[in-house]
Amino acid sequence: MAAVILEARGLSRAFGGLRAVDGVDLTLTEGEIHALIGPNGAGKTTLVSLLSGRLAPDQGTIRFAGEDITRLPAQTRVLRGIAYTFQITSIYAGLTVFDNLALALQRRHRRDLADAVTQAATRIGLAPYLQTEAGTLSYGHQRLLEIGMGLALSPRLLILDEPTQGLANAEIEDFLTLIRGLTGTTILLIEHNMEVVMALAQRITVLNMGRVLASGTPDAIRADRAVQDAYLGGGHAAD
């Protein structure tokens, strides 16, 4: 049985009188692809902000690799092995692809940085664009670059927030190929495209109105009547 890499218990966060995340439990095991889904406003973005350290919980605990990280800041969590790619691309648009990757890699690869950058670019299919200014890339290539920058940190947990948003079908296929090729990295995937979720995830957690509605295998989630009703009726809480 795979070891637990992240365990969140009783996580809650309110904004004013609105509980965006309300007593959420979440367990991620080493090396799995775990999808987090739910209607707009279900609390997904708030939850991953709590996990990544961008927000502090009002209640609850987060353990990562056996250590309590509940109060650690985001940058410290990055150093511990948690990388979070944003819903909106966070690349350095005025720098080349090479320089973007070099910035992400420099802490771990000081002597062989150029070789490490080339390998990272090849991994994400951007080797032909190393000297291209990142801001001139297609949107899909910018998203792949952002994921590559996250992978350059050699994370134990990679959190991908809507990675296929705005991608063309061919670019989605490139993304699927990239993620399927990863080994050893646990991935938490926040995604609206259910074809992508079902193609990649081993387990799925469904949020609705800040609470866990269901958690299980793709087949179990697909057959869950409560999940079907939530998607049909929609949820209305802060995301």
Residue 189: CATH number of its domain: 3.40.50.300
| 228 domain residue, yes or no | yes
Q: What pLDDT shows up at residue 237?
A: 43
What element of type H or E holds 5? Answer: strand 4-15
Is 200 or 171 the better-scoring residue by pLDDT?
A: 200
Residues 6+ apart with CB under 8 A from 57: 11, 12, 13, 21, 50, 70
| 238 domain residue, yes or no | no
Instruction: Place 96 in a pLDDT band, splitting at 50, 70 and 90.
Output: very high
Residue 89 scores a pLDDT above 90: no
Judged by average pLDDT, the poorest of 1-5, 81-85, 143-147, 234-238 is 234-238
Q: What is the pTM of this model?
A: 0.89
Q: Which residues share a beta bridge with 85?
A: 160
Instruction: Quote the strand ranges of 81-169, DSSP E.
Output: 82-85, 157-161
Q: What pLDDT shows up at residue 239?
A: 56
Q: What pLDDT shows up at residue 234?
A: 45
SS3 category, 63: strand
Instruction: Place 153 in a pLDDT band, splitting at 50, 70 and 90.
Output: confident
| 200 domain residue, yes or no | yes
Candidate ranges 70-84, 165-179, 218-232; pick with highest mean pLDDT: 70-84
| 239 domain residue, yes or no | no
Please report, for residues 19, 135, 219, 227, the alpha-carbon distance to residue 204 in angstroms, rounded to integers and kept in the order given.
Answer: 22, 34, 10, 11
Domain total for the chain? 1
The residue type of 170 is A
| 210 domain residue, yes or no | yes
Residue 235 scores a pLDDT above 60: no
| 26 domain residue, yes or no | yes
Candidate ranges 49-58, 101-110, 142-151; pick with highest mean pLDDT: 49-58
pLDDT above 90: percentage of residues in the chain: 65
Instruction: Place 170 in a pLDDT band, splitting at 50, 70 and 90.
Output: confident
Instruction: Place 181 in a pLDDT band, splitting at 50, 70 and 90.
Output: confident
Per the structure, the complete domain to which residue 131 belongs is given by 4-233
Is 72 or 104 the better-scoring residue by pLDDT?
A: 72
What is the rounded distance in angstroms from the CA atom of residue 135 to the CA atom of residue 142? 8
Residues in the chain: 239
pLDDT above 70: percentage of residues in the chain: 94
Residue 171 scores a pLDDT above 90: no
Sign of CA dihedral 103, 148, 143, 25: negative
Structure tokens given for 72: 């650690």
